[in-house]
């Protein structure tokens, strides 16, 4: 069986670029530490070749341990401050995989970069238009009082609504007439016992419920209406990128 070709690419692009930028900066800031550890790895590895069997194995194991630690720190971005961006990449890609399960009548634009950040996913399908914001969180998440919470992290419902409103406005500029409602959805990748919570025009949804929920929504738009919106959102992306 062949590998299914991905229809909508680019999920997590902005977060990944920021992660790589921070990793390079963190390594530059701590170049002395990195240099010392690399020299230690080389030193222990070379030393192991000129000692007895037992001592050689100990030295080689030490070199391997240091190399493994170096790789782990590199993979985490060189500092814990960068790792949250990698979590963002993973959350957006998890959402992207759920979107790929939808039928051919759906269209998604991932990672629309704007002046104040980016919109993770703008999704267009028979039930309407959706702005999805992916959140990969540790611990238990809960939604209520117009806020999504997980430990000390909080995400205000107003930020989700504002993004959806702005996407609607940009679509209207391209369409030349009133665009349909854009539904704000927070896609929660975490322990989220509520599963789904709707409050003040925001839907908070556990990630594995995204595709089933979308698939059961009633159809509100025809194929020509969807096609016009797909063209409009592509023009919005081009405009945001300075190409239109």
Contacts 24+ apart (CB under 8 A), 204-212: 204/143, 204/148, 207/91, 207/94, 207/95, 207/98, 207/134, 208/98, 210/95, 210/98, 210/99, 210/132, 210/185, 211/98, 211/99, 211/101, 211/102
More confident residue, 214 or 88: 214
pTM greater than the 0.75 cutoff: yes
Extended strands (E) in the chain: 107-114, 117-125, 128-144, 147-150, 153-156, 182-191, 196-199, 202-206
Phi then psi for residue 200, to 5 deg, are 50, 50
* Coil, helix or strand at residue 244: coil
Helix/strand number for the chain, H first, E second? 7, 8
Q: What number is the average pLDDT over the span 89-113?
A: 94
Dist CA 80 CA 78 (whole Å): 7
Closest residue by Cα to residue 175 from 122, 224, 111? 224
For position 80, what pLDDT does the model report?
Answer: 62
First-to-last alpha carbon distance for the chain, in angstroms, is 41
Q: What number is the average pLDDT over the span 121-145?
A: 96
Q: Hey, where are the domains in the chain?
A: 31-77, 90-239
Give the confidence band of 1 by pLDDT, cuts at 50, 70, 90: very low
Instruction: Name every residue whose Cβ is closer than 8 Å to that of residue 167 and which is 6 or more positions away in sequence.
Output: 119, 122, 129, 131, 182, 236
Rg, the chain, Cα only: 23
pLDDT at 124 over 90: yes
Closest residue by Cα to residue 15 from 96, 120, 133? 120
Give the confidence band of 48 by pLDDT, cuts at 50, 70, 90: confident
Give the confidence band of 117 by pLDDT, cuts at 50, 70, 90: confident
The pLDDT > 70 percentage for the chain reads: 90
For position 74, what pLDDT does the model report?
Answer: 64
pLDDT at 10 over 90: no
For position 65, what pLDDT does the model report?
Answer: 80
């Amino acid at each position: 069986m062949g590998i299914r070709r991905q229809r909508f690419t680019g999920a997590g692009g902005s977060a990944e670029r920021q992660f790589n930028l921070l990793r390079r900066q963190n390594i530059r800031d701590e170049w002395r530490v990195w240099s010392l550890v690399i020299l230690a790895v080389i030193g222990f590895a070379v030393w192991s070749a000129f000692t007895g069997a037992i001592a050689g194995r100990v030295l080689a194991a030490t070199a391997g341990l240091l190399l493994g630690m170096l790789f782990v720190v590199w993979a985490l971005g060189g500092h814990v401050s960068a790792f949250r961006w990698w979590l963002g990449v993973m959350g957006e890609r998890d959402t992207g995989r759920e979107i790929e399960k939808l039928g051919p009548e759906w269209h998604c634009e991932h990672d629309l970069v704007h002046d104040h950040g980016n919109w993770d996913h703008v999704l267009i399908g028979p039930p309407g238009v959706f702005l999805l914001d992916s959140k990969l969180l540790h611990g238990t998440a809960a939604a209520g009082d117009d806020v999504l919470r997980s430990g000390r992290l909080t995400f205000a419902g107003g930020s989700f609504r504002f993004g959806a409103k702005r996407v609607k406005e940009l679509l209207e500029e391209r369409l030349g007439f009133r665009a349909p409602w854009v539904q704000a959805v927070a896609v929660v990748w975490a322990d989220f016992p509520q599963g789904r919570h709707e409050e003040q025009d925001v839907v908070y949804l556990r990630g594995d419920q995204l595709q089933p929920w979308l698939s059961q929504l009633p159809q509100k738009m025809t194929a020509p209406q969807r096609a016009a919106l797909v063209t409009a959102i592509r023009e919005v992306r081009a405009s945001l990128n300075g190409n239109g």
